[in-house]
């Protein structure tokens, strides 16, 4: 896979305070290592320490991955693109996501800061444990594994050129969101939920074809 030859734009600045500003950035290897490892460890723990059958643990693990794709879609659609009508809401939206749209190739802001990610991961696993019992660890591990895979896909789309294989669909889909219509194509790791919820934007070439058909 080749790196994109376009220059990486400046990431801008969110906070004046240098400590807070530093906390908004991370190298992609840090969350990938943290959460892929956490996913694998929780799956192992479910089987080796809790005695859950490997088949059952695997099903829950895959269920966690599937749920993450839905949570990813919902958060991107309803939180990251929350309507901003007041100055405070505009500031909030810019901090959590708007800065990414202004500087989509800033490598340091293509993943949620690790400190916040760890807090959220702990809360999610605690919730799954409370709802599902021991199997919640395997489910939570799949959820974290899905998150890491999403991070890798998001990073690759913005930094590398689209591959000439089936994975190119992910590049094409996310580029529709950034450069055609940010009111749709909310899925990053998959366009599946955009088709389900009807938020798949039309491609420019299809729009032009439709105009021709009407003439």
Residue 84 has pLDDT above 90, yes or no: no
Residue 124 has pLDDT above 70, yes or no: yes
Question: Bigger pLDDT: 90 or 69?
Answer: 69
pTM for the full predicted model? 0.84
Mean of per-residue pLDDT scores for the chain: 85
Cβ 176 vs Cβ 191: under 8 Å:
no
3-state SS track over 141-183: HHHHHHHHHHHHHHHHHHHECCCCCCCHHHHHHHHHHHHCCCC
- 86 pLDDT band, cuts 50/70/90, is confident
d(CA 10, CA 12): 6
Retrieve residue 119's tokens. Answer: 């807090």
Which tens digit of pLDDT belongs to each residue from 176-211? 999 888 989 999 998 999 999 999 987 765 544 333
Segment 49-68 mean pLDDT? 96
Residue spans of the domains in the chain: they are 18-170
Which tens digit of pLDDT belongs to each residue from 1-43? 444 444 444 556 667 766 667 767 788 998 899 999 999 999 9
pLDDT at position 11, please? 59
Residue 87 has pLDDT above 70, yes or no: yes
Question: Bigger pLDDT: 8 or 138?
Answer: 138
pLDDT at position 100, please? 85
């Amino acid at each position: 896979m080749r790196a994109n030859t376009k220059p990486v734009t400046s990431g801008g600045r969110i906070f004046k305070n240098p400590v807070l500003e530093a906390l908004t950035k991370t190298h992609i290897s840090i969350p990938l290592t943290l959460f892929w490892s956490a996913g694998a460890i929780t799956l192992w723990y479910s089987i080796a320490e809790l005695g859950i059958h490997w088949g059952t643990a695997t099903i829950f693990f895959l269920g966690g991955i599937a749920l993450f794709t839905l949570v990813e879609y919902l958060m991107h659609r309803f939180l990251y693109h929350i309507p901003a009508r007041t100055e405070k809401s505009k500031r909030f939206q810019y901090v959590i996501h708007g800065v990414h749209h202004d500087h989509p190739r800033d490598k340091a802001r293509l993943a949620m800061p690790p400190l916040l990610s760890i807090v959220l991961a702990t809360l999610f696993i605690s919730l799954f444990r409370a709802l599902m019992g021991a199997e919640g660890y395997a489910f939570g591990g799949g959820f974290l594994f899905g998150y890491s895979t999403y991070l890798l896909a998001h990073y690759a789309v913005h930094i590398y050129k689209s591959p000439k294989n089936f994975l190119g669909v992910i590049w094409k889909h996310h580029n529709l969101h950034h450069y055609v219509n940010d009111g749709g194509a909310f899925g990053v790791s998959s366009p599946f939920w955009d088709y389900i919820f009807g938020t798949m934007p039309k491609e420019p070439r299809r729009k032009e074809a439709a105009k021709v058909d009407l003439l």
